[in-house]
Amino acid sequence: MRVVIQENYQNMCLWAAHYIAAKIRNHKEARPFVLGLPTGSSPIGVYKELARMNQAGEVSFANVVTFNMDEYVGLPHEHDQSYWYFMHDNFFDHLVDMKPENIHILNGMAEDPEEECRKYEEAIASYCGIDLFMGGIGVDGHIAFNEPFTSLASRTGLRSLTTDTRIVNSRFFGNDPEAVPAQALSVGVGTVFDSKEVLILINGHNKARALAATVEGNVSQKWTCSALQYHNGAIIACDEAACGELTVDTYKYFLDIERKERL
Ligand code: GLP
């Protein structure tokens, strides 16, 4: 696992955006580059920088296919808290050459959620899997909407949100946890795990426990993010604030090794 520690949120986002852009540019195969994407506040700076680079002609999305991590059940696209809306508002609408047909987001209004999730896995497989899955993390360590004790082998499916997650996400719903949908469709830990690379953004003091659990904790379904310890291409991009619960040795180790990576 690589852990790339940046001084602050902005630098973390710049690092991640430039890493992703380089991967897209270096993708020489005829098949598209397949990119997994998250919502949440963490990736907003990454989306801004990728959009800037795209508009400046520094990276093209013409041969990129995207799959989003998750979507609330019961929110239509036009709802300003649906992840469909979030992704278009914060990212896709700002790209000059993203093809709408290459965008995949789970439909939280699907009549048959199981069928929707089965088809999503099939669509990912039809592109031979995801090249790079960017993700965020919940304060309880959830990846996508895979709450504590979701199987580390889970696939795309219907999830119930914990009270804790609904309280945290209520900041977008007038501070009313009851207004946050109780369910979501989400890729599984196993779906994320199957990607060639996984890049997780972890920033802020409130994510410090989750970062320590991801990097130093035992692999456990209690912290679904800890599954990444078994992934051969896992990168954590984080800021200093999120490092507060790492041991000093761990913190120094990653700074040291990353300095060498840059040489
Ligand atoms: C939600 C999303 C996750 C996201 C998490 C953290 O629960 N389903 O994919 O990682 O929020 O969001 P934030 O980046 O706003 O802290």
Q: What residues have CB less than 8 Å from 142, skipping those under 6 apart?
A: 148, 150, 165, 224, 225
Specify the pLDDT at position 262. Answer: 64
The residue from 49, 71, 147, 239 that is catalytic is 147
Could you tell me if the CB of 136 is within 6 A of ligand 1?
A: yes
70 CB under 6 A from ligand 1?
Answer: yes
pLDDT score recorded for residue 53: 98
Three-state SS at 5: strand
Per-residue model confidence (pLDDT) at position 45: 98
Q: Per the structure block, which two tokens stand in for 31?
A: 């098949």
Q: Show the 3-state SS of 200-215.
A: EEECCHHHHHHHHHHH
3-class state of residue 6 by DSSP: strand
Pocket perturbation via mutation, ligand 1, pick of 39, 86, 133, 206 by most ligand atoms within 8 A of CB: 39
Give pLDDT, residue 226. Answer: 96
Task: Identify the H or E element spanning 250.
Answer: helix 248-262
pTM, to two decimals: 0.96
Predicted local confidence at residue 259, as pLDDT:
87
Q: How far apart are CA 263 and CA 260, in angstroms?
A: 5
pLDDT of residue 73: 98
Does 145 contact ligand 1 (Cβ within 6 A)? yes
What is the structure's pLDDT at 260?
82
Q: Per-domain residue ranges for the chain? A: 2-262
Instruction: Identify the architecture of domain 2-262 in CATH.
Output: 3-Layer(aba) Sandwich (3.40)
- β-partners of residue 235 are 2, 199
Contacts of 194 (CB under 8 A, 6+ apart): 129, 130
Per-10-residue mean pLDDT for the chain, 263 residues long?
97 98 95 97 98 98 98 96 97 98 98 98 98 96 95 97 94 95 97 97 98 97 96 98 98 93 63
Beta strands at 64-68 and 132-135: parallel, antiparallel or unpaired: unpaired
pLDDT of 236 reads 98
Instruction: Tell the residue nearest (CA) to atom 6 of ligand 1.
Output: 138
